[in-house]
Structure 1
Amino acid sequence: MTTDYHSHILPNIDDGSDSIKTSLKMIKMMKQQGIGIIVATPHFYMHREASLDSYLVKRQNAYEKLMAADPAVKDIHIGAEVAIEKGISVLGELEKLCISGTRLILLEPPFTQYNSWIVEEIDEIANSRRLIPIIAHVHRYMGVYSKSDLNSLMSVDAVFQINAEAFEHFSTRRFVNKLIS
């Protein structure tokens, strides 16, 4: 069964789905594409949230509303796409942002100038918190980070998540094929 580890299907929680109706359409399309397990990963920005607990309540409410609407794919797990910010590795109860039932945590590096603290935060999450980082849509940083910065990011002990869009263009397809090999 194919799993989508990075989706924004929960309604009214981030820049993904704007309603239950949209979420159900998205899930129906995913099912038609052969997706059997979906991980709902709404954005978590530490600096924007009042608290981790308020985010978790908001996420759980959106999940329950979606599940009550009887989606086409029933196997939906919750997680988060966690923005890597300075200090995220010491956030209390960071584990609650992992994909449900796992130690996997989806992390999104910033789309700003690269800084060494990004890798330091990922390493802290992996080593001190004993979580397994998944770096979100790593191919998107090709145009943001220099080649050496990208190599530094790629040197972390993590899983790298790639969107299907990466295979549309020669340069990103080449990068992804190199990453896979």
Structure 2
Amino acid sequence: MKSQVLTILHEVFPAVKAAEMAVKFQPLWWEGWQTLGRAQLSLGEVDLAVRSFQIAIHLCPSETSLWQEDLNWAWTLQKQQVATKEKTRQEEEAKNQILNAPELEQDYDFESDEVLAACVAVAERQTHYDELRRTTVVIDAEGNIQKVVSGEQGSEDAAAPSGEQFVKARGLSMN
């Protein structure tokens, strides 16, 4: 109960510590594991929370709220984290391609067609990077991952999700 109160008071780290002590002293108490999982979610430790919820389910498989609410919510957050990490990885990869363009590594004659080809290649990479920056990963109410491209001509209002339907997972630019 101390962990629950601390979580409500937004004292997340002490809440996790209190829940850890509870499951240390009573390792077969499924509600202690559930509380630990919820505290870990508040701390942002989604993988640890999933593990705690799974232990709670193992101890009390008949408790449907563990399956339907806690574990489902933690899995949804895991999906969001994976989608966000993938988008960040793609952005970094695109940025590195722009900064480390192999076409620009050689010493070119500035009046040759090779310089023009190198500039075109860098411009194409920059366009890809800009497209990734305008792409936002969103998760709808059912937990489906979608990508929304903002700033497209003529479809800015149509592409913008309403705040009630979606939760913004990550975006590079703030409009």
Normalized against structure 1, the TM-score is what?
A: 0.22
Q: Which structure carries more relative contact order (alpha carbon 8 Å, separation 6+)?
A: 1
Report the structure, 1 or 2, having the larger strand content. Answer: 1
Normalized against structure 2, the TM-score is what?
A: 0.22
Report the structure, 1 or 2, having the larger helix content. Answer: 2
